[in-house]
Amino acid sequence: MGRSVLAMIDWLATPTHRAWLQHEAERLLAFAAASPQQGQGGAYLEADGTPQAGRPAETWITCRMVHSYSLGHLMGVPGSRPLAIRAMSGLTGALRDERHGGWFHTTARDGVKQAYDHAFVVLASSSATVAGLPGGRALLDEALTVLDERFWDESFGLVSDAAQADWSSTDPYRGINANMHTVEALLAAADATGDGMWLERARRIAEFARSQAEAHQWRLPEHFDDQWRPLLEYNSDLVDDPFRPYGATIGHGLEWARLFLHLEATLPEPDDRWASAAEQLYARAVSDGWARDGADGFVYTTGWDGTPVTSDRMHWVAAEAVGAAATLFHRTGEKRYAVDYAQWWDHIAEHFLDPQLGSWHHQLDAGLTVATSVWPGKPDIYHALQATLIPRLPLAPSLATAIAQGKLA
């Protein structure tokens, strides 16, 4: 089907498509039901949805499961509430540092404490609060206190990336990834608590990201030193790192575009610069990332001239492409975003959805066959689930609050 024909189709207004999105959301929730483990948190899932044997539970996966099943409960999907509670027990159990405060990266309780993980604790506990889970608000208050006291750097208006488990020192590395997820988490926390301070902090982080993206032709630097100076060659010898890859990350350009629009819709004062930046980020990500090597799909990363570095296709990038196109269409009304939206879903349906084992393949190689070098198995459902919800929700409030208010179409 050519783009000229697709331009006549507005899937976002089609009841059949909305029903398909709901079915896919329920399919994802059913797939990951074995992940929550009492007292431990969320298990990393194999390709068939079974927990990976011997692997300790990880905070970021645990939080994504709490968030996902809180959303499932708010949608009225039976069984979601006990799964959310079971996953959350890991955040009050094996993953929580009862001595020094905060959360370990895994139940092995070693290594540094990460802002990335703590941002997800805020997101998870915000969703749990809105969903009325027991202990949700207490967990949110604790998570916000730790984020504020241990990671927030008021002088820069950003969060640091990592610290020793006893908080005795902070890693000099600074990363935009943890800050991006902090924006998402703080928007949710502002809705869950009614405290505008968290919205203001989200705005400050996003302003930095916007300025950096604009200064680098809308290819947003990922890595920085402790003075927030870009480290453009960071990890040039580790180009496909799952959390700190070299170069510009296509999926983050798409994700920031969406977050800018959520932020704009939440801020009390209008500011068209957010929408303009979102359009620029999206355009750059699509131009640099889509089908650059002759095959459909978004490459993982590019160099600073837009040349692909890692050409594998990650499921979360395609999911964020869906979210970005949907939010841009909601914000602008421009049909070209609806055209893109349909194309991204067609690509996902053809290549990422796994009708045999469930969920989505997490990684494909440049030939669009399943790969496992970065993401073996199917660890979690967070990005895919949100891709089924964002198109059916307004730009604000955040997902859990909007669903709780009956705004899911």
The pLDDT score that the predictor gives to residue 10 is 85
Give pLDDT tens digits for 77-93: 999 999 999 999 999 99
Question: In Å, how far are 3, 94, 221, 223, 233 from 213, measured between CA atoms?
Answer: 29, 38, 7, 13, 16
The pLDDT score that the predictor gives to residue 269 is 93
Mean pLDDT calculated for residue range 112-134: 98
Strands 162-163 and 113-114, how do they pair?
antiparallel
From 252, 262, 315, 351, the catalytic residue: 252
Does 347 qualify as catalytic in the annotation? Answer: no
Give pLDDT tens digits for 229-254: 999 999 999 888 888 999 999 999 99
The pLDDT score that the predictor gives to residue 4 is 42
Does 262 qualify as catalytic in the annotation? Answer: no
Give pLDDT tens digits for 298-337: 999 999 999 999 999 999 999 999 999 999 999 999 999 9
| Distance in angstroms (rounded) separating the CA atoms of residues 167 and 388 | 38
| 141, 152 contact by CB (below 8 A) | no
Task: Say whether pLDDT at 2 is over 70.
Answer: no
**Percentage of the chain with pLDDT > 70?**
98
| 90, 57 contact by CB (below 8 A) | yes
| 112, 165 contact by CB (below 8 A) | yes
Tokens describing residue 365: 């190689």
Tell me the average pLDDT of the chain: 96
Q: Nearest CA to 42 among 28, 32, 31?
A: 32
The pLDDT score that the predictor gives to residue 42 is 98
